Structure 1
Amino acid sequence: MSKKNRVNVIGAGVVGLSTGLVLQKNGYKVKIIAEHWPGDLSINYTSPCAGAYFSSNFLFDERCKKFQDISYKTLWELSYINDTGVIRIPNFDFYAKDPHIDSETLLKDIYYKFQVLPKHELPKNVEYGVSFTTDVPKYLRWLLNQFTSAGGVTQKAHLNHLNDAFEPDVNFVINCTGINARTFCGVEDDKVFPTRGQIVIVWAPHIKFAKSLHEEEGAYTYIIPRKSGEVILGGTMDVNNYDGTPDSKTAESILNRCIKLCPELSGVKILRHVVGLRPSRKDGIRLETEIRQNSVGKDVMVCHNYGHHAYGYITSWGSAIEALDLIESSVSNQKEARL
């Protein structure tokens, strides 16, 4: 692919960084423009706050299932590289009520060592459970380093409008603005809404497995260890809640639920409380293209890639490759039109 095809990616969350890296490694000249970068903390910068692990949440959308498959296989390979921050751990997902889903058909071909747990191995008051070996990616800095090492360019800036990314020599703009797509001028997608998540981060290096419990009325408890010895305890799913301040009663509830699920957490040291806004979207992920014009009347292809809800890490690589395919198709069509 010719280097003359310049791409600006807006947003440096896990989706933006993954998309930028895939494009840069496939011959495009990419610049990522973002106000927030790995190491920054902001209620509008979701990726650093994410639990960031694969669970057995059933993604019925066939496109999302494809993205999940691609991302899992990619991250599995990355887990063999020491500096990525991706690790493999045993994972146990429990359901208070049997979801009556053929999970083996849905997930067996995706997850390593996937199995439905027999009834006698389930905790009290749990009707269904699965186990598999999963990845816990905390690797935004690694993605950024890979991107810049491959020749990618970064720009720390606050854009007021989508058109601000339409530089004269840019052929493509990838919109990975996440939760900000709701208010970002030129996009203003009213289907985007926040799903607030609160977590408690504790020091528990003895925890070497992930556990989660799906209860009735949407309650969701999870325990996710990091390679560093920190453990993420969650969580909440508060729709249309923008409050970035941790709530003490919620934190207490999270701790109690996690200790009940995993007694080995009793007495652990609390390190900090974190709140993030999942970039949810009615109708799911928006991954599509449109043609707009820059200030001198040149056509610019805009590829939207946002609305990943709680599945940004799970779908990041798959959606990045889909964005690449959409751009490649556009380039091929343009060549055919000139012939």
Structure 2
Amino acid sequence: MDTQGSDGIVVVGSGIIGLATAVVLAERGLRVRVWTRDAAERTTSAVAGALWWPYHIEPMASARSWALRSLEVYRELAERPGETGVRLVEGAMGETSLAGVESWAAGRLPGLRPATAREHPARSAVWARLPLIDMAAHLPWLRARLLRAGGTVEERTVSDLAEVDAPVVVNCAGLDAGDLAADPSVRPVRGQLVVVENPGVRTWLVSTTEDGELTYLFPQPGRLLLGGTAEDGVRSLEPDPAQAEAIVRRCAALRPEVAGARILEHRVGLRPARPAVRLERRALPGGRAVVHHYGHGGAGVTVAWGCAEEAAALAASR
């Protein structure tokens, strides 16, 4: 199959998964077009907290492998934080054992150690220096990188993969990917966060209660992100005032200085979850092919580059 032909490869979706996949393909010399209903700034990726950590994704073994490859990329990008939006930031991950992290990331996270009681109140927590990505800067940078490599981005809605006139189409449409693939196993996991003025928090913090409530504080340039929620099967994009109050209250219990921080914005996103990430190539009528690449749940940013390289290899294969 000639993926260098006039129609090249079409990637559907311009979130972090779609853009990373398109960049890998374009930088390998392939002709790539991204078709997207929404600009990158309006995708679920745009409202992600975007701390590198495999979260809410299966299969975990593959996710960790993809995450470690992505970690290598983010470390390189963190050398130019003002340009790429990627920084390496220290923080504490609660309800996590050092042995558990070392079992899959030994030697890959310099400075990894148990967190002190002052750093995190949980009995078991780890301290680490991880990539924290400012998606407001990173997504436009990623799109610009694609354009420099010769790719294109078109805002157009795809309702059926059969309408994509290209030898290969890569389905990276996030939550909509399930509809395009007639896959009912794709479901939303609603996440809500509160953006506040940063009162001086410089490290990130993540904690999970016994009943699964997620709490996090992510310092981004000019603001602090407070979260969050993980509501399985909920599709509402409207911020819930009661949830917002609960988020601030949980975050203030961990970092009291945020209690009176001025609220700048409320955000809601729908994570595209699936029992397992779907990353496979299938035949389409007329000798064409589709690479399904979706179902990354809450870890799209974390696994993006590792997944993108595998998806690109499938798309370019004959």
Using structure 1 for the length normalisation, give the TM-score: 0.86
The 5-angstrom pairing of residues 168-317 of structure 1 reads 170-184=166-180, 187-204=181-198, 206-227=200-221, 229-282=222-275, 284-293=276-285, 297=286, 299-317=287-305
Residue 171 (structure 1) shift = 2.1
- Structure 1 residues 111 and 99: CA distance shift in structure 2, 3 A: closer
- Specify the alignment match of 2:307 in structure 1: 319
Equivalent AA in structure 2 for residue 301 of structure 1: A
Range with greater deviation from structure 2 (15-24 or 73-82): 73-82
* Matched-pair identity in %: 29
1:91 aligns with 2:88: no
- Structure 1 residues 131 and 159: CA distance shift in structure 2, 3 A: same
| Aligned-partner Cα distance in 2 for 1:162–1:109 | 42
Q: Is the 8 A contact 1:2 1:27 kept in 2?
A: no
Runs of 4+ in 1 over 4 A off after TM superposition: 56-60, 98-101, 120-124
- Structure 1 residues 57 and 176: CA distance shift in structure 2, 3 A: closer
Residue 117 (structure 1) shift = 2.8
Unaligned runs of 5+ in 1: 332-339
- Specify the alignment match of 2:39 in structure 1: 37
Q: Is the 8 A contact 1:171 1:300 kept in 2?
A: yes
Unaligned runs of 5+ in 2: none
Equivalent AA in structure 2 for residue 266 of structure 1: A
Using structure 2 for the length normalisation, give the TM-score: 0.92
Q: Is the 8 A contact 2:54 2:67 kept in 1?
A: no
Q: Is the 8 A contact 1:220 1:235 kept in 2?
A: yes
Equivalent AA in structure 1 for residue 85 of structure 2: G
Equivalent AA in structure 1 for residue 100 of structure 2: D
Residue 75 (structure 1) shift = 0.7
- Specify the alignment match of 1:337 in structure 2: none
Residue 61 (structure 1) shift = 2.2
Residue 26 (structure 1) shift = 0.4
| Aligned-partner Cα distance in 2 for 1:156–1:271 | 29
Q: Secondary structure at the match of 1:246?
A: coil
Equivalent AA in structure 2 for residue 182 of structure 1: G
Q: Secondary structure at the match of 1:218?
A: coil
| Aligned-partner Cα distance in 2 for 1:290–1:114 | 41
- From 79, 88, 112, the equivalent of 2:110 is 112
Residue 56 (structure 1) shift = 6.7
- From 20, 31, 48, the equivalent of 2:46 is 48
Residue 325 (structure 1) shift = 2.1
Which structure is higher in RCO with an 8 Å CA cutoff and minimum separation 6?
2
- Specify the alignment match of 1:74 in structure 2: 73
Deviations 1:253-297 (A, max 9, x none): 000000111122132110011111000002x1100010112xxx3
| Aligned-partner Cα distance in 2 for 1:58–1:237 | 9
Equivalent AA in structure 2 for residue 88 of structure 1: L
| Aligned-partner Cα distance in 1 for 2:154–2:41 | 15
Q: Secondary structure at the match of 2:201?
A: coil
Equivalent AA in structure 2 for residue 86 of structure 1: V
- Specify the alignment match of 2:159 in structure 1: 160
Deviations 1:126-173 (A, max 9, x none): 2100011111222111100000111101111011211111x1xx2211
Give the number of aligned pairs.
311
| Aligned-partner Cα distance in 2 for 1:205–1:264 | 6
Deviations 1:88-118 (A, max 9, x none): 11021112xx669632222333323212235
| Aligned-partner Cα distance in 2 for 1:317–1:103 | 20
Equivalent AA in structure 2 for residue 78 of structure 1: L
